[in-house]
Amino acid sequence: MKQCLIFAVLSVLALQSFGVPNNDRVKESKPLSHTDHYDADGNHNAGYDHDAFLGEDESKSFSGLTEEQSKEKLGTIIDKIDKDRDGSVNEKELSEWIEKQQSKFIYKDSDHHWKIHDVNGDGTLTWAEYNQTTYSSLPLSTLIHMPEDEVMHFAKRVHKDKTRWAAADVNKDENLDYEEFVAFIHAEERKHMYDVYTREQMDEIDKDRDGKLSVDEYIADIYKRPAEGVEEDPDWVKQERESFGIYRDRNGDGFMDFAEVKEWLIPTEYSAAEAEAKHLIYESDKNKDKMLSREEIMEQWETFVPSRALMAERDEL
């Protein structure tokens, strides 16, 4: 039985990817800036918009630039935002740009993995390349001597990764370009991957395999009871049990179904990036066509990027 499992796994290695490590299950929103958008008197803080538009680290890098240098860099950024090359920036493009700036840690992590796996450096990741940099380095002798439960775990990870790869492969060419790879590595950060991510987490938590989560399964995932010495749950766990029926089990059937688990893991909350995109367009859209031309952005450049003089003025306030 064990050897059958080993060779079944080996037979699909050429089509498989490496397991993606699990982090905390619940996706948490991140602030666009650590400064307030408005002060206590309702005065607008342009620094918030700069941090949101550029990312906080990049915003700080403008502190040494002249007005001309800031404008030059802004012009380059506009070209990057205008994906459809129609000469204007719409709300969707601006919102996606802001989200990207706020997710630079995701791209930094993806860059690291991409350089490892894109063996020939052609900008496309194939199954064969990914296998070569992962499972191919695992000797057959290691697999043969694995305990059977480890072989089963190995096979499950292979299946999980194959499912995730297929979902990330948007153009269905069986390969991954860079953006598809980012979605593969960080499924919790891409909307089209939310269902796959939710299913993965459910599979880990749903111990009785009935396709839903009971309150006990939910609690067991968030609280690891000590082996001995603790006779009853702490107060916060008791509160979680009570709130399960209020905030988690929304249809009141005593369980969390797929939709309820998805809402728990990836809350459909207020989007700060979308709100900021609307704000920037409102502030700069002179002809009120609900999009921004290059001229409108450059005319209101201080709304989007700082400069040495502008930051000096801000420090004096």
Q: What is the pLDDT of residues 133-167, one digit of tens each?
A: 876 656 656 656 667 666 667 778 778 888 999 99
Mean pLDDT of the chain: 84
Mean pLDDT of 77-102: 94
Using the predicted structure, report yes or no on whether residue 12 has a pLDDT greater than 50. no
At 11 the pLDDT is 46
What pLDDT does residue 17 have? 37
Residue pair 298/74 in contact (Cβ under 8 Å)? The answer is yes
For the residues 10-33, what does the mean pLDDT come to? 52
The answer to which of 14-23, 26-35, 132-141, 183-192 has the lowest mean pLDDT is 14-23
For residues 43-48, give the mean pLDDT.
89
Q: Phi/psi zone of residue 136: left (φ > 0), alpha (ψ -120 to 50 degrees), beta?
A: alpha
Query: What pLDDT is recorded for position 105?
Result: 78
Residue 313 reports pLDDT greater than 70: no
Most distant CA pair in the chain: distance in Å? 74
More confident residue, 26 or 273: 273
Q: Which of 177-191, 206-220, 263-277, 278-292 has the lowest mean pLDDT?
A: 263-277
Whether residue 255 has pLDDT greater than 90: yes
pLDDT of residue 134: 72
Q: Residue 37 and residue 39: Cα distance in Å, rounded?
A: 7
Q: How far, in whole angstroms, is CA 307 from its chain's centroid?
A: 30
**Whole-number pLDDT of residue 131:** 76
- Asked if the model's pLDDT at residue 254 lies above 80, the reply is yes
Range in 88-92, 186-190, 228-232, 272-276 with the lowest mean pLDDT: 228-232
Please compute the mean of the pLDDT values over residues 28-51 and round it to a whole number: 83
pLDDT band at 35 (very low <50, low <70, confident <90, very high): confident
Cα–Cα distances in Å, from 49 out to 130, 142, 301, 314?
Answer: 40, 54, 11, 13
Q: How far apart are the first and last CA of the chain?
A: 74
Q: Please tell me the distance from the alpha carbon of residue 94 to that of residue 18, in angstroms, as a whole number.
A: 34
pLDDT at 84: 94
pLDDT band at 258 (very low <50, low <70, confident <90, very high): very high
* Across 56-83, average pLDDT: 93
